[in-house]
């Protein structure tokens, strides 16, 4: 039989249970249709072969957890089988893949580190930031514009870019941010982790600073990084990110909750309209707060006093933990979970 390829997903990829999966591949020109089967008997769908020999079939989602054999079968115009090929995939629960990342965070040195004037971070903070980093890391690999903005090279503009403002401290730790990409993204998250400890002691539900007078919808600060709605003017991407999370506000709050108690006043929001909604979302959706602050740090570093005063700590232990997160995401193909 002639060659038939399954290009994506790769062999032994992991997929979340009940989540749609798209299979793509290539076939020789004599084939006109491709059928997919799981475990050699369960049909997953069929698709027409395009003029360039490519094919694509989306399955609605696997219901059973465990290893599955996926077989692609190519047919010619007379519906004669011409070729077949197989790969193996692993279907996991959503928590199974995330647990691998959470375990790395829980066992890391940064989880035990005593932050200056803040002490040890809540367990959920380090775990949550590890999961958010994994998500954004996967987004960067996929070319996501939000992640690319976070991962751009040090701009050299110390008035706007926190990486430029912190350049000497990063140099002292041999963390190079001169090239756009994964290393710069990771180093930004190292700084972000330090900022969250400084601004809120790692409490996802932190309300506004009650010693300050900023109580309007535009200026009231909220969440892990004490960000306010008026920061959105720093980049056209920030309002887009806000709207995206409003539509789908899954933000790993169950992870960030561990070890945190939220008094009723922390849940108070001020003003009206979208500014008030921004405060609510910043606390209810920690992943949004982290991504919004990450883009903000690259464009409006003066929004955060601890950044201006170089008080947010850059810890090599955080960098080491995030490197381990990258490795497990790549080894187990965990990007399919996000």
pLDDT at 93 (0 to 100): 75
| Domain containing residue 54: CATH number | 2.60.40.10
Q: Which of 72, 92, 112 is the C-terminal boundary of a domain?
A: 92
Range of the domain at 87: 5-92
pLDDT at 247 (0 to 100): 86
Q: Which of 29, 63, 92 is the C-terminal boundary of a domain?
A: 92
Answer yes or no: is 119 within a domain.
Answer: yes
Identify the sign of the CA torsion 137, 142, 146, 152: positive
Number of domains in the chain: 2
Contact 137, 148 (CB under 8 A): no
Whether residue 200 sits in one domain with residue 87:
no
Whether residue 184 sits in one domain with residue 80:
no
Q: Which of 42, 61, 92 is the C-terminal boundary of a domain?
A: 92
pLDDT at 98 (0 to 100): 86
pLDDT at 248 (0 to 100): 79
pLDDT at 213 (0 to 100): 67
Describe the strand order of the beta sheet including 54-59 as a list of residue ranges. 5-8, 21-26, 54-59
Give 287-322 pLDDT, tens digit per residue.
999 999 999 999 999 999 999 999 999 999 999 999
Whether residue 99 sits in one domain with residue 79:
no
Assign 110 to helix, strand or coil. Answer: coil
Whether residue 106 sits in one domain with residue 56:
no
Whether residue 57 sits in one domain with residue 132:
no
Answer yes or no: is 338 within a domain.
Answer: no
Whether residue 207 sits in one domain with residue 299:
yes
pLDDT at 17 (0 to 100): 80
Please identify every stretch of the chain with a pLDDT value under 70, giving residue numbers as ranges: 1-2, 94-95, 210-213
Task: Could you list the beta-strand ranges (E) of 60-158.
Answer: 66-76, 81-92, 114-115, 119-120
Question: Could you tell me the pTM of the whole model?
Answer: 0.76
Give 131-141 pLDDT, tens digit per residue.
999 999 999 99
Identify the sign of the CA torsion 329, 334, 335, 337: negative
Whether residue 235 sits in one domain with residue 87:
no
Contact 175, 187 (CB under 8 A): yes
């Amino acid at each position: 039989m002639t060659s038939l390829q399954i290009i994506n997903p790769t062999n032994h990829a992991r997929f979340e249970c009940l989540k749609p999966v798209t299979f793509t591949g290539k076939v020789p020109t004599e084939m006109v249709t491709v059928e997919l089967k799981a475990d050699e008997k369960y049909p997953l769908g069929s698709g027409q072969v395009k003029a360039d020999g490519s094919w694509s079939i989306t399955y609605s989602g696997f219901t059973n957890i465990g290893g599955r054999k996926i077989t692609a079968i190519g047919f010619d115009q007379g519906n004669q089988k011409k070729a077949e090929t197989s790969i193996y995939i692993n279907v996991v629960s959503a928590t199974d893949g995330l647990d691998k990342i959470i375990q790395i965070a829980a066992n890391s040195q940064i989880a035990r580190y005593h932050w200056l004037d803040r002490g040890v971070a809540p367990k959920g903070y380090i775990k949550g930031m590890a999961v958010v980093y994994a998500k954004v890391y996967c987004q960067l690999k996929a070319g996501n514009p939000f992640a690319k903005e976070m991962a751009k090279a040090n701009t050299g503009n110390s008035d706007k870019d926190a990486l430029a403002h912190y350049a000497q401290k990063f140099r002292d730790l041999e963390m190079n941010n001169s090239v756009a990409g994964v290393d710069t993204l990771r180093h930004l998250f190292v700084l972000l982790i330090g900022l969250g400890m400084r601004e809120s002691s790692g409490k996802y539900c932190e309300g506004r600073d009650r010693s300050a007078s900023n109580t309007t919808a535009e200026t009231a600060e909220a969440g892990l990084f004490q960000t306010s709605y008026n920061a959105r003017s720093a980049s056209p991407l920030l309002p887009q990110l806000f709207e995206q999370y409003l539509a789908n506000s899954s933000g790993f709050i169950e992870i960030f909750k561990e070890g945190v108690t939220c008094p009723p006043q922390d849940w108070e929001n001020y003003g009206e309209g979208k500014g008030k909604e921004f405060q609510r979302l910043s606390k209810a959706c920690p992943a949004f707060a982290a991504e919004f602050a990450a883009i903000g740090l690259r464009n409006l570093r003066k929004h955060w006093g601890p950044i201006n005063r170089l008080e947010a700590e850059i810890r090599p232990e955080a960098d080491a933990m995030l490197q381990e997160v990258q490795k497990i995401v790549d080894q187990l193909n965990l990007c399919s979970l996000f």
